[in-house]
Structure 1
């Protein structure tokens, strides 16, 4: 666990205005999402936010606003709040140290095996809140139970070694250069020369997708021909990692 999210004794921040309810049914965020007595659970996702409130908002209200808007909160009372257990699902500001607010999120707020869902929730529209002059996510602890829902890469180093039947040395790879501007045929020539020169694999640069000068299908065909030719001539396993993140693939 990193230093910011290490276990600590909870401390009361210097000031707080916790008026329970404004007019027209609007409650302060702090009245529902600031809980200095809360002790984070092992299953909570913990975040440390550096917050600069926008006057006249104080630090507690600003931190609670972040917790609310990134979990179950809204700016006013709504009758549909009665249809769920907000006490179970809501995030809580459990500590404030200077300009750092510590927020605990119940694990059930997040989809399993989805970094996108976690980031969309925690660092989504909260950055546009009027109560904040500045906001920065400094640290995050994902609970072990949630981490275990991520299976990891489909292909790992062990799979590569099995395919290559190379175990006693590092596998050597390289990126084709120049990374942009080469025709598929010229690109495949460099792949062939690299593999013949001793590399086990080559790869597309992340910028290389399916641009007009090198359409993905053409590059794939030429690259595979270069790989197969190098394998025949060296008697070794060779490979090329294709970038398949283009919208057309």
Structure 2
């Protein structure tokens, strides 16, 4: 649904609802990245502000929390006293195993502490 913003010509509120079966249970990062990251990445949208985001309680209950905290990750990486620096491997799809490994190697060799998969890479067939 799209409603005009009162007193603001050419501005609108857009209400968007997604089916929950589009998202992996318990993966709040997948859900938020899909909604926020992908929508804000549309080049056709030149001005956008997220006013509110609501998730059903049933979906929130599937989230079991992070497996570890930042202290455990710092211990694993043996990195203390500074921010951790990471990146997301791009493109998110289409790299061969060899090329994916090359991207990771070059990132770590260049000074990154970690690389991660794109948030949208969850339960892919």
TM-score normalized by the length of structure 1: 0.24
Larger relative contact order (Cα-Cα within 8 Å, sequence gap ≥ 6): 2
TM-score normalized by the length of structure 2: 0.46
Give the structure with the larger strand fraction.
1
